[in-house]
Structure 1
Amino acid sequence: MLRLRRIPVIDWLLIAYIELFRCTPLLVQIIWFYYAFPVVIGVNIPAHVAAVSVLSLYGGAFYAEIVRGSIESVPVGQWDAAKALGFRGWRLMRLVILPQALKPMMAPYVNQSVTQLKNTSLVSIIAVPDLVYNATLINADTYRPLEVYTIVALIYFAILFPSTLVARRLERGLTYDKV
């Protein structure tokens, strides 16, 4: 939302953050933040802190662009009409623009959320005990990779598939132009 204000210094910083996190692989970010960043700042970072920090920064860059793009998709005439009626600032955004931006925002927002949940499997690389990390430990004990990783895939599917169904239903419910 800050990028919509068009303040050059803030714009530049936000663009740098968004492009840095969107244009580099998440796995590289996790490894760099856990192994290299502590060397730069001179403080060790616990694995779970590194994982949550990187996943948040990475996801935030994508979510920011989804929200910005959806807000900018609202026709200029809607902005002008709201201003003509005396709406300004947060009131204009809350009552006029965001309700219209919600529908085009829903699908990419849910898709990114699904991707974000799947991305959590990458934190096992720095020994954060997520589902994949625990599956790896179980596989090391049982030597049954087919069964172990099939169960992991089914767990992810069981969590994510209902989420996508709910999102589709919500998106259909947000259609305002029904006659």
Structure 2
Amino acid sequence: MGYVWDFFAVARNADILLAGLGQTMLLSVCGIAVGVAIGGVLAAMRLSGRRTLSWPALAFTEFYRNTPPLVHFFWFFYGLPMAFGLTLPPFAAALAALGVQSAAFFAEVFRGGILSVETGQWEAGRALGMGRARLMRRIILPQAARRMAAPFVERSFELVKTTTLAAALAFHETIYSAMVIVTQTYRPLEVYTVVAGLFFVVLFSASQLAEWLEARGRRAGAR
């Protein structure tokens, strides 16, 4: 006999799943905010030209870009209490793990965008007597921001999907909520199919919005 699908079992527990999705979005937004803040500092350190700043930033970015995110989740949740006696709740541990790893990637996005601006733009600004801060604000960053848009959005989407690892810390995000529903309904195929659909709708809608904003930015830049 073929498998008989029953999505009503999921519908009856929609409140649990939607609550988990809300927690996923909260964790994602907070993770992006932390990642952007730390990533901006790291990018500035890498671009400073001072080894005392650029080398620690390089070590940080390379370490977190080349190690599994699940290890960071476990380290912040289980490692800190064992090593330093500092216990973080699941949300804080997941946010710390997401924030530091995404910061390493965002730092490279920012650094790459700034370095992609042609040397002539820097020279033109200096010829006009602009200081470094004004030059960055008026000439470099507006151009770099348009070039950063696509990789920034892509990295943000990866962060949203990485939030599913927080289920390993018993944080009640989407996957953990799905696991709870599965234990109640014994319908894993239906539950995880709906979860995939939810992530697709959220991320596809966000990608369409990002493309619209990018196109609008290009038109504004052309004018």
Q: TM-score range by the shorter chain?
A: over 0.9
- Give the alignment partner of residue 88 of structure 2, picking from 34, 39, 45: 45
Aligned to 1:123: 166
Give the TM-score normalised by the residue count of structure 1: 0.94
Aligned to 1:26: 69
Aligned length: 179
* Match runs of 1:30-179 below 5 Å: 30-175=73-218
Read off the aligned partner of 2:93 and give its amino acid letter: A
Q: CA deviation at 1:170?
A: 2.4
Aligned to 1:9: 52
Q: CA deviation at 1:178?
A: 5.3
Question: C-alpha offsets along residues 8-51 of structure 1, whole Å, 9 cap, x if unaligned?
Answer: 11111111111111000101111122112321212222221110
Which segments of 5 or more consecutive residues in structure 1 lack a partner in the other structure? none
Which segments of 5 or more consecutive residues in structure 2 lack a partner in the other structure? 1-43
Q: CA deviation at 1:154?
A: 1.1
Partners of 2:73 and 2:203 lie apart in 1 by 23
Partners of 2:204 and 2:130 lie apart in 1 by 40
Question: C-alpha offsets along residues 103-131 of structure 1, whole Å, 9 cap, x if unaligned?
Answer: 21000000001111111111101111101
Q: Bigger CA drift: 64-73 or 154-163?
A: 154-163
Read off the aligned partner of 1:32 and give its amino acid letter: W
Read off the aligned partner of 1:45 and give its amino acid letter: L
Question: C-alpha offsets along residues 51-103 of structure 1, whole Å, 9 cap, x if unaligned?
Answer: 01110111111111101000000001100101111211221111100111112
Q: CA deviation at 1:167?
A: 1.6
Q: Bigger CA drift: 85-94 or 64-73?
A: 85-94
